[in-house]
Amino acid sequence: MHELYTVLAEYYDTIYRRRAERIMEEIDFVEEIFREDAGRPVKGVLDLACGTGIPTLELARRGYDVIGLDLHEEMLEIARRKAKKEGLKIKFIQGDALKIEFEEEFDAVTMFFSSITYFDDSAIQQLFNSVKRALRPGGVFIADFPAWHYGGRDGPIVWDEVKGDERLVITDWREVEPAFQKLHFKRLVQIIKPDGSVKAFFVNDELNIYTPREMRLLAERYFTGVRIYGNLHRDLNPKEGRYWLVAIE
């Protein structure tokens, strides 16, 4: 598990190039939530499961004081390198999102790009509890998660990307266990070197499927104002491909 964030960490930004290109829109939406939903002005942000820092860096570029936390040092090394190159002051720390011990230190906590679906219903409650503690009064927690049950393709989906003189061929598919609401996300990454040799990596991650209603009910155990928005707009329609959980401390 987690090959994508260890041996393949240096290819993460290439694999998700198209998503990285849309990060400005995502952070525009997050800033709208900061302005419209948070119960306090937002300056200090904790970005949990920050990965290579795609959203973390964009928040810092816009003037927020950001700390990025991730389980995998391989991902953090890339994030630190990118921040240094841009002269951005961001603290990146290695840690488990479930074990954070911050006490009223942030105006917002974020968790982007389906990272929250790594946690099952018991772990997610541990997460909510720690996030709530980390937030200052009126602070906001924001996490996006996919609508796996609606209109998604079980695959395979194949696409290619280029990284320097290497070519990547990525094949994704998934197996859903509806009774347990588990999603087995599978990915084959083939890296084709300039001499034609191929290195292949297999990713097999177990993710949890949440409906918007389940996510809201779980979050309401810990937070006061809980809203589920659609993708990049502050309402919800039945055809969303992605949801945003917004929860106020």
Ligand X SMILES: C[S@@+](CC[C@H](N)C(=O)[O-])C[C@H]1O[C@@H](n2cnc3c(N)ncnc32)[C@H](O)[C@@H]1O
Interface residues toward ligand X, by CB under 6 A: 5, 49-51, 54-55, 70-72, 75, 96-98, 112-115, 118
Map residue 38 onto helix, strand or coil. Answer: coil
* Residue 247, phi then psi, degrees to nearest 5: -135, 130
In the complex, minimum distance from the CB of residue 239 to ligand X, in angstroms, rounded to a whole number: 23
Q: Which two tokens stand for residue 142?
A: 């924001």
Query: For the chain, how long is the longest CA-to-CA vector?
Result: 58
* Residue 122, phi then psi, degrees to nearest 5: -80, -45
DSSP per residue, 196-208:
S-EEEEEEEEEEE
Within 56-196, strands assigned E span: 65-70, 91-94, 106-111, 135-146, 157-163, 166-177, 182-192
In the complex, minimum distance from the CB of residue 236 to ligand X, in angstroms, rounded to a whole number: 21
Report the residue number, 41 or 205, with the smaller CB distance to ligand X.
205
In the complex, minimum distance from the CB of residue 13 to ligand X, in angstroms, rounded to a whole number: 8
Report the residue number, 159 or 198, with the smaller CB distance to ligand X.
159
Report the residue number, 135 or 203, with the smaller CB distance to ligand X.
203
In the complex, minimum distance from the CB of residue 224 to ligand X, in angstroms, rounded to a whole number: 25
Among residues 79, 77, 112, the alpha carbon closest in space to that of 97 is found at 112
Task: Output the residue with the shortest Cβ distance to ligand X.
Answer: 51
Report the residue number, 129 or 224, with the smaller CB distance to ligand X.
129
Q: Which two tokens stand for residue 37?
A: 């939903």
**Look-up: residue for tokens 């084709």?**
192
In the complex, minimum distance from the CB of residue 193 to ligand X, in angstroms, rounded to a whole number: 26
In the complex, minimum distance from the CB of residue 233 to ligand X, in angstroms, rounded to a whole number: 19
Report the residue number, 34 or 117, with the smaller CB distance to ligand X.
117
Q: Does the CA dihedral 12-17-21-26 come out positive or negative?
A: negative
Among residues 80, 22, 69, the alpha carbon closest in space to that of 47 is found at 69
Cβ neighbours around 199 below 10 Å, total: 11
In the complex, minimum distance from the CB of residue 201 to ligand X, in angstroms, rounded to a whole number: 16
C-alpha to C-alpha distance for 12 and 6, rounded to whole angstroms = 10
Report the residue number, 138 or 152, with the smaller CB distance to ligand X.
152
Report the residue number, 26 or 240, with the smaller CB distance to ligand X.
26
